[in-house]
Amino acid sequence: MKKSKKLLSVLLILVMMGALFLTACGGEQGGDGKDEDVTTIGFIYIGSKTDGGYTQAQHLGTTAVEDYFGEKVKILTAENIEEEKTTVKTAAVNMISEGASIIVGTSYGFMDALEECAQEYPEVTFLHFSGNKMNDTNFGNYFGAMEEPRYLSGIIAGLKTETNKLGYVAAFPYTEVLIGINAFALGAQSVNPDVEVSVVYINSWNDPANEKIAAESLLAQGCDVIAQHCDSAGPQIAAEEKGVWAVGYNLDSRDAAPGAFLTAPIWHHDKYLVPTIEKVIGGTYVPESYYGTMQDGYVDLAEMSDLVPEEAKTKVEEIAQQMKDGTFKVFSGEIKDNQGNVVVAEGESLDRAGIWQIEYLVEGVTGRDN
Amino acid sequence: MGGFFAAVIIAGTPLLFATIGELLTQKAGNMNLGVEGLMMMGAVCGFIAGFKTGNAGLALLGAIAAGAVGSLIYAFLTITLRANQQVTGLTLTMFGVGFAKFAGTNVMGSVLPASVKAFFTKIEIPLLSKIPYIGEIFFSQDVFVYFGYIIVLLAYLYLNKTKNGLNLRAVGENAPAADASGISVNLYKYIHVIIGGALCGLGGAYLSLVTIPVWQENVVAGRGWIAVALVIFASWKPGKAMVGAFVFGGLSILGFRLQSMGIQVSQYLIDMLPYVATVIIVIISTRKNRKEDMPPGWLTLPYFREDR
């Protein structure tokens, strides 16, 4: 009797754990994937495909690849993969053993694992989102000039605000985030010199409730447009409840808070993935460090809602056109940081390398820069 | 300033429900580390029920049912089968978090119907809400928050003033003695573990129904663990649990307020404060060594009637 109870308890625990694994590894798998004409592509995600933000935007790119190549590709996905070397390598090796010849990793922390895999599997091509490592044969990276659409969203916020106070909910203070805050502030200041931006960091990528509460604290200080560099619609919901406005991120999330949504800087990962995968399949891929811009269509601004004033729409379309023509630089001098130091001199502008050295917040922004 | 304290209540309410739930569970001698998972299950089931039916009452029932079923698994494993409580609780957390992600896939990003949202809008209680400061903070909230106050009061009265409550404490303090005096130990354990789980489910549902009425993964984000710490902080007393939940809720949002006012404090430091507070409380209470501040004597121990 006692033994059977013990067995039952072990079984129940196993069932619970099994359910967890099912949800964690519920990728589209099956088939041997060794078909000559079919290229198997593995996508490794840090979150789940339906997270409503970062990974969902990535997965939109993946489905676009699937739609474009149709029968010629087989897509494998692994969700909720932690940024831990062994975990990432295991996911990649599993996919390779399923026949994958292209592995796409979509989080910065996958970098070292992918680098090692690229050495161990020279016949497989590795594409890494947001990383800065690559090699000459089978390991490249890609990212986007999110500062461009963020600048445009800043223009809208600058013209929409009535209090001249903008709020910005961000995850962590590091270069990518600082670039975005600065671009947003510069865009707003370009149309409204009196505007101030307050930043609140929540120290998490994954806490929707705190994202909302952080936005509420900004609203309490009189901010009437909330922008964000975090992944949930929390800040937009907070703005809607207060009867003011919000700029989203990652995806067009207007349904979450239709009463507040102005626009969102968004990713079009397919604009990189489709042509690049085509090259890999055709054997002409040479590793590169891709940096997609408005010009490439890789980053963009979601369709502006009816809450955006006409004046702002016109201005945004004007600057967006200049960006698409390649004549507009977001970080053009003179720019001072919020300590009063000149960081970009008059007549100069930052290129990609210069932008990615930003460790400051520009004048008119209140918040930490480290 | 009143606005800040009103926000503290909202941040503290999910913790309050989960803490009272875990407190009842522990009073029955069971340490359930599955709070995080139960909160996630409550959050997702409450949301789905509210989303599909547009009825706030059914949303709450969904959350209660999810928490109850989740804790029933735990109860069966730890009470009937006498599995290790900590391990089972941890597994329940993993299960609950995974279950919520899985179950929430189809409603990801969906918005709760207006009828549900309207039920949880702020209601000012006549007279009480007119009290300066206090009224604005405590009595201009949503019904869910008021329900939380009632739960604390009921838990206090139950544990201190009723025969059943005292029986429950006896079960937690010394299961064999309780058994000898004719109390059905397993029945008490089952009932309170399940009620505790239902309260945890409600705590999670507060996040998905009121705080963020749009389904997002990981809405609970570690609050279940804070609730476990809060039970220790509160030294197993409902009143203190309420104070603790609001203090911890306040600490969790203090950093944002300071940042938005332009006062730059490291968020890491602020995030640490609730845990530092718990450590200090534990040190103080062990130093004082007062019997009434100690955990239930039979906590985490399985009860074998044959071993008497």
For the segment A209-235, what is each residue's pLDDT rounded down to a tens digit?
999 999 999 999 999 999 999 988 899
CB contact under 8 A, A237 and B213: yes
- B210: amino acid identity, one letter: V
Structure tokens at B262: 């332009």
Q: What is the mean pLDDT of residues B188-197?
A: 97
Q: How many CA atoms lie within 13 A of B284 on its CB side?
A: 10
pTM metric for this prediction = 0.86
CA gap A240, A242 in Å, rounded? 5
In the numeric block, the tokens 């399985």 are attached to: B302
CA gap A324, A331 in Å, rounded? 16
Chain B residues 43-72 with CB within 8 Å of chain A: none
The three-class DSSP label of residue A343 is strand
CA gap A44, A338 in Å, rounded? 39
The three-class DSSP label of residue A100 is strand
Which pLDDT score is estimated for A206? 78
Which pLDDT score is estimated for A95? 96
Cβ atoms within 10 Å, residue A345: 10
Average pLDDT, chain A: 91
CB contact under 8 A, A206 and B211: no
Reported as a single tens digit per residue, the pLDDT across A139-181 is 999 999 999 999 999 999 999 999 999 999 999 999 999 999 9
CA gap B75, A44 in Å, rounded? 37
In the numeric block, the tokens 């069971």 are attached to: B30
Model confidence at B146, in pLDDT bands (50, 70, 90)?
Answer: very high
Q: Is A47 on the interface with B (CB under 8 A)?
A: yes
Q: Which residues of A touch B217 (CB under 8 A)?
A: 47-48, 50-52, 206, 208
Q: What is the mean pLDDT of residues A335-356?
A: 94
Q: Which residues of A touch B211 (CB under 8 A)?
A: 209, 212-213
- What superfamily in CATH does domain B2-293 come from? ABC transporter involved in vitamin B12 uptake, BtuC (1.10.3470.10)
CB contact under 8 A, B98 and A23: yes
Q: Which residues of B touch A51 (CB under 8 A)?
A: 108, 216-217
CB contact under 8 A, A17 and B216: no
DSSP letters for B16-51 = HHHHHHHHHHHHTT---TTHHHHHHHHHHHHHHHHH
Q: With 60 as the cut, is the pLDDT of residue A337 above it?
A: yes
Asked whether B296 and B29 are in contact (CB, 8 A), the reply is: yes
Model confidence at A33, in pLDDT bands (50, 70, 90)?
Answer: very low
Reported as a single tens digit per residue, the pLDDT across B59-113 is 999 999 999 999 999 999 999 999 999 999 999 999 999 999 899 988 888 899 9
In the numeric block, the tokens 């200049």 are attached to: A322
Which pLDDT score is estimated for A30? 44
Structural domains of chain A ordered from first start = 39-144+269-292 (3.40.50.2300), 147-264+302-369 (3.40.50.2300)
Q: Is B76 on the interface with A (CB under 8 A)?
A: yes
Using alpha carbons, select from B67, B94, B225, B110 the residue that is nearest to residue A23.
Answer: B94
DSSP-derived secondary structure letter, A148: H
Q: With 90 as the cut, is the pLDDT of residue A328 above it?
A: yes
Which pLDDT score is estimated for A139? 96
Model ipTM value: 0.85
Chain A nearest-CA residue for B89: A13
DSSP-derived secondary structure letter, A71: G
Which pLDDT score is estimated for A203? 87
Q: What region, left, alpha or beta, does residue B262 occupy, with left being phi > 0 and alpha being psi -120 to 50 degrees?
A: left
Q: Is B208 on the interface with A (CB under 8 A)?
A: no
The full set of domain ranges for chain B reads 2-293
Asked whether B34 and B194 are in contact (CB, 8 A), the reply is: no
Which pLDDT score is estimated for B271? 80
CA gap B152, B242 in Å, rounded? 7
Q: Which residues of A touch B36 (CB under 8 A)?
A: none
Q: With 90 as the cut, is the pLDDT of residue A5 above it?
A: no
Which pLDDT score is estimated for A22? 54
Q: Is B222 on the interface with A (CB under 8 A)?
A: yes
DSSP-derived secondary structure letter, B150: H
Q: With 60 as the cut, is the pLDDT of residue A183 above it?
A: yes
For chain A, counts of helices (H) and of strands (E): 11, 16
Q: Which residues of B touch A202 (CB under 8 A)?
A: 256, 267
Which pLDDT score is estimated for A27? 45
Which pLDDT score is estimated for A122? 95
Q: Is B306 on the interface with A (CB under 8 A)?
A: no
Q: Which residues of B touch A22 (CB under 8 A)?
A: 98, 102
Q: What is the mean pLDDT of residues A60-88?
A: 94
Which pLDDT score is estimated for B1? 62
CB contact under 8 A, A16 and B94: yes
Q: Is A216 on the interface with B (CB under 8 A)?
A: yes
Phi then psi for B230, rounded to 5 degrees?
-65, -35
Q: Is A342 on the interface with B (CB under 8 A)?
A: no
Q: What is the mean pLDDT of residues B221-227?
A: 92
